[in-house]
A and B are shown apart, each in its own frame.
Chain A
Amino acid sequence: MAKQGKIKELKVSAIENGTVIDHIPAESVFQVIRILGLDKVSNQIMVGTNLDSRKYGKKGIIKVSKKFFEKEDLNKIALVAPIASIIVIKDYTVVYKENVEVPDFIDKIVKCINPNCITNNENIVTKFTVIDKEDLKLHCHYCEKITKKENISFK
């Protein structure tokens, strides 16, 4: 068993320094990349998706070399990857490991569900208060309408 685990891990090569985001639902990998702005950085990034996970079935993993994120930014991915874990690597060694948490406030990344909201009609940064962390309900700072989990889409 131990040996098999080792082989799996090597499907996405190890990084010397940087951040690993593990246990991403396979279908959310590309959204995580967008939310963290990884499509716009010059760091080396390794992405694996549809990997077998004993716990979760299919999972995705992202390894970003030489990049360390603010906790605030990482928590935003909880919207699409609520069970993701964050692993900080220095000299090939895990120095820190933590699960993401849904934040109290979310700005920029989410689109308001209300087509008549001013943020969907002018170039305005969206702001939401998370009023229900388990069921994911976001209260728009501008139009005061609620965007529910199933309606969340990204800017």
Chain B
Amino acid sequence: MKDKSLISITDITKEDYKIILDLAETFEKKPKQKILENYVMASLFFEPSTRTRLSFESAASQLGAKIVGFTDASSSSVKKGETLKDTIMMVSNYADIIVMRHPKEGSSRYASEVSSVPVLNAGDGSNQHPTQCLLDLYSIRKTQGTLDNLHVAFVGDLKYGRTVHSLVTALTNFNTTFHLVSPVELKLPSSVKRFIKEKNLNYYQYTELDEVIPKVDILYMTRIQQERFSDPLEYEKVKNSYVLRNSMLDDSKPNLRVLHPLPRVNEITEDVDSNPKAYYFTQALNGVYVRQALLALTLGVK
């Protein structure tokens, strides 16, 4: 994987998943290793994303890398009208690797084509966010001991949720059975469903959350945003139907874990937080180890 950009989850082979997740495990055991002391990471956030940026910068700092960059486009030359191409060509002279977040879909793929150094996509609009997907996979493997043959439920906004699209796509490599729970307006789009169909995997669609919980190993919750509904009445109708309360976990499997890409609003009530099956805060921490693994592999030091 040395020198290879990571733009989309579809760039990763089944073998790569294992290499990345295995290496991330070694960083979890020993996160501070000065293996990137001679490297510079450019952190280009054309739109703010505190969570992802801090996770990447913490990952790089703990490995000894130097960080240059900007935290939103208004503090960069983009504001002066510089094209993405020019910004990337300039920055690739200064850094060994570029981490970028950009509001336009496809921007990271384009950057990887004009850059002389590898690019790690930290989110391009509503398109891809592969490092989020890898930390989800890491969390699933860690809590279940395997990625193979699991029953995974996705709940909430399956239409616009970028993390859902990436994770569903990735899981089609592992013989997953999919349980898709959403309002009719927010069903998983056919462009993502085609990956499930191509592999002939089973999937079930629901509009109610309760009946799914006892069947699954992973419950992946997402936020339903009001602005996704053209009719505010429709939002009012569904907004409380996809809320997870602690009592709903009573009949769940012992190995069930609840994941959420965060930030959460009201879709998981706070009484769930102390349930040992709640895993969403540890899930976020796992992002650091996965990003350390990607930095090390892409720069060729591991």
Contacts and interface: CB of A to CB of B under 8 A. Distances in A.
**Interface of A: prevailing SS:** loop
A124 B191 contact: no
A104 to B, nearest CB: 17
B105 A144 contact: yes
A117 B128 contact: no
B84 interface: yes
Contacts, number: 52
Residue of A114, A118, A140, A142 with most partner-chain B CB within 10 A = A118
Nearest to A141: B109
A142 B83 contact: no
B17 to A, nearest CB: 19
Interface residues of B, number: 19
B105 A145 contact: yes
A114 B120 CA distance: 23
B125 interface: yes
Interface string B95-114: 00000001111110110000
B132 to A, nearest CB: 16
B143 interface: no
Nearest to B8: A144
A62 interface: no
Contacts of B103: 116
Interface of B: 8, 10, 83-85, 102-107, 109-110, 124-128, 191
Closest 9 CB pairs of A and B: A142-B106, A143-B105, A143-B106, A118-B106, A118-B107, A118-B104, A142-B109, A117-B106, A118-B110
